[in-house]
């Protein structure tokens, strides 16, 4: 089965073609970072309009790259949610209309399920069951994965997601957008133990997260800093990143112990963070296998949607002609 995948949940237009026998045939991605950087964050209306401009050319690009005609497609997969409603509707409407025109099935994919399954595109994919840490700009979740479609939410952020906290902290420090890569790079110049940030919600039972207070702590630290220079920013970036990484590590260890699982999948944009990977890889010493998607598939992309969609289409799932988008959609609900 050859499936076209479409991802338009936020500020990246991703398209890919996945074949269940041959694997990933082609993928293309257009990022809107330069468009939104001047505003310091994503502007939903601009995101939607840019998806409209870029989506059709990207579809043709992956068709050409994979030597595939539209008539050779067996199905269409698109991100149905969660995400920005306008951005989602661009991909949903395009995907469903294309499938109707070609007389092939279409299926809506949960954006976070796409991230969760992204490591399946690697040469050494994880085996079920496993624990998943989904950590991105909009979500921070721990999920017990029994098999595809069988997910149990163990914990999630009660306020800012980790990626969101990175972006907001960077903005408070006067750094560029998006904040995650900028904070990570700056933290490499930071001195350890100059500042000690709290590890929120780690001194109480449970697996939920809270990162909102960390950005406030970072702002207060910056305002009280004796020298407001680049070194002080680097020291704060280092302390902030250390706190986020330690918090994620502590909660992962706790979830692994409670669930008895021996495999950990880490996915989403923040999973590209080098410091986080270094710390989580130490779990290998405790008999835990840790899996990640390749770096280009940590952020939003069409390949993960094409793969997840292909699995659902193989199972006979498909969308009716009456379609919609779900800006809010708990992963464990379906």
Residue 143 belongs to domain with CATH number: 3.30.420.40
In a domain, 152, yes or no: yes
The pLDDT, as a whole number, for residue 138 is 85
In a domain, 321, yes or no: no
Q: Are residues 311 and 231 in the same domain?
A: no
The pLDDT, as a whole number, for residue 11 is 95
Q: Is the pLDDT of residue 301 over 70?
A: yes
In a domain, 327, yes or no: no
- 137 appears as a binding residue in the annotation: yes
Mean pLDDT of 136-149: 93
Helix spans in the chain (H): 33-37, 44-65, 85-102, 111-117, 162-172, 179-187, 212-224, 230-259, 274-281, 302-314
Q: Are residues 60 and 196 in the same domain?
A: no
In Å, how far are 17, 25, 71, 203 from 4, measured between CA atoms? Answer: 5, 10, 12, 46
Q: Are residues 152 and 261 in the same domain?
A: yes
- 115 appears as a binding residue in the annotation: yes
- 150 appears as a binding residue in the annotation: no
Q: Are residues 113 and 131 in the same domain?
A: no
Determine how many CB atoms are found less than 10 A away from the CB of residue 180. 24
The pLDDT confidence band at residue 328, using thresholds 50, 70 and 90, is confident
- 153 appears as a binding residue in the annotation: no
Q: Are residues 200 and 98 in the same domain?
A: no
- 123 appears as a binding residue in the annotation: no
Mean of the per-residue pLDDT values of the chain: 95
| Structure confidence by residue, pLDDT tens digits, 200-230 | 999 999 999 999 999 999 999 999 988 889 9
Q: Are residues 96 and 147 in the same domain?
A: no
- 235 appears as a binding residue in the annotation: no
In a domain, 333, yes or no: no
| Structure confidence by residue, pLDDT tens digits, 155-190 | 999 999 999 999 999 999 999 888 899 999 999 999
Domain count, the chain: 2
Q: Is the pLDDT of residue 333 over 70?
A: no
- 300 appears as a binding residue in the annotation: yes
Are 216 and 164 contacting, i.e. CB atoms less than 8 angstroms apart? no
Q: Are residues 99 and 238 in the same domain?
A: no
The pLDDT confidence band at residue 195, using thresholds 50, 70 and 90, is very high
The pLDDT, as a whole number, for residue 75 is 98
| Structure confidence by residue, pLDDT tens digits, 247-300 | 999 999 999 999 999 999 999 999 999 999 999 999 999 999 999 999 999 999
Q: Are residues 10 and 107 in the same domain?
A: yes
Radius of gyration, alpha carbons of the chain: 20
End-to-end CA distance of the chain: 24
In a domain, 30, yes or no: yes
CA distance 271 to 134: 8
In a domain, 322, yes or no: no
Q: Are residues 103 and 169 in the same domain?
A: no
In a domain, 36, yes or no: yes
- 273 appears as a binding residue in the annotation: yes
In a domain, 334, yes or no: no
The pLDDT confidence band at residue 322, using thresholds 50, 70 and 90, is confident
Q: Are residues 136 and 252 in the same domain?
A: yes
Phi-psi sector, 160: left (phi>0), alpha (psi -120 to 50), beta: beta
Q: Is the pLDDT of residue 24 over 60?
A: yes
For 59, the domain range is 2-117+297-315
Strand partners, 18: 3, 24
| Structure confidence by residue, pLDDT tens digits, 39-98 | 989 999 999 999 999 999 999 999 999 999 999 999 999 999 999 999 999 999 999 999
Q: Are residues 308 and 273 in the same domain?
A: no
Q: Are residues 149 and 275 in the same domain?
A: yes
Q: Is the pLDDT of residue 334 over 80?
A: no
């Amino acid at each position: 089965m050859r499936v076209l995948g479409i991802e338009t949940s936020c500020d990246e237009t991703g398209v890919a073609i996945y074949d269940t026998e041959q694997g990933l045939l082609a993928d293309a991605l257009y990022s809107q970072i330069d468009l939104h950087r001047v505003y310091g964050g994503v502007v939903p209306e601009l995101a939607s309009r840019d998806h409209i401009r870029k989506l059709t050319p990207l579809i043709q690009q992956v068709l050409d790259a994979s030597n595939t005609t539209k008539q050779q497609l067996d199905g269409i997969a698109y991100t149905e949610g969660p995400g920005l409603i306008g951005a989602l509707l661009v991909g949903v409407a395009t995907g469903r209309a294309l499938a109707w025109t070609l007389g092939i099935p279409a299926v809506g994919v949960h954006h976070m399920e796409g991230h969760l399954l992204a490591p399946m595109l690697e040469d050494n994919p994880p085996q079920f069951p496993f624990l998943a840490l989904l950590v991105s700009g909009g979500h921070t979740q721990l999920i017990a994965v029994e098999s595809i479609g069988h997910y149990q939410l163990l914990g999630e952020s009660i306020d800012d997601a980790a990626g969101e906290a990175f972006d907001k902290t960077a903005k408070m420090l006067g750094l560029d957008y998006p904040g995650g890569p900028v904070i990570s790079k700056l933290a490499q110049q930071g001195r350890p133990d100059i500042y000690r940030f709290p590890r929120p919600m780690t001194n109480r039972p449970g697996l939920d997260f809270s990162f909102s207070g960390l950005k406030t702590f970072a702002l207060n630290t910056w305002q009280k800093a004796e020298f407001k220079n680049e070194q002080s920013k680097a020291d704060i970036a280092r302390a902030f990143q250390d706190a986020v990484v330690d918090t994620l590590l502590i909660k992962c260890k706790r979830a692994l112990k409670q669930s008895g699982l021996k495999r950990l999948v880490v996915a989403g944009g923040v999973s590209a963070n080098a410091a986080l990977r270094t710390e989580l890889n130490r779990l290998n010493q405790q008999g835990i296998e840790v899996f990640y998607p390749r770096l280009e598939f940590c952020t939003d992309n069409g390949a993960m949607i094409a793969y997840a969609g292909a699995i659902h289409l193989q199972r006979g799932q498909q969308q009716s002609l009456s379609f919609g988008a779900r800006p809010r959609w708990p992963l464990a609900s379906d």
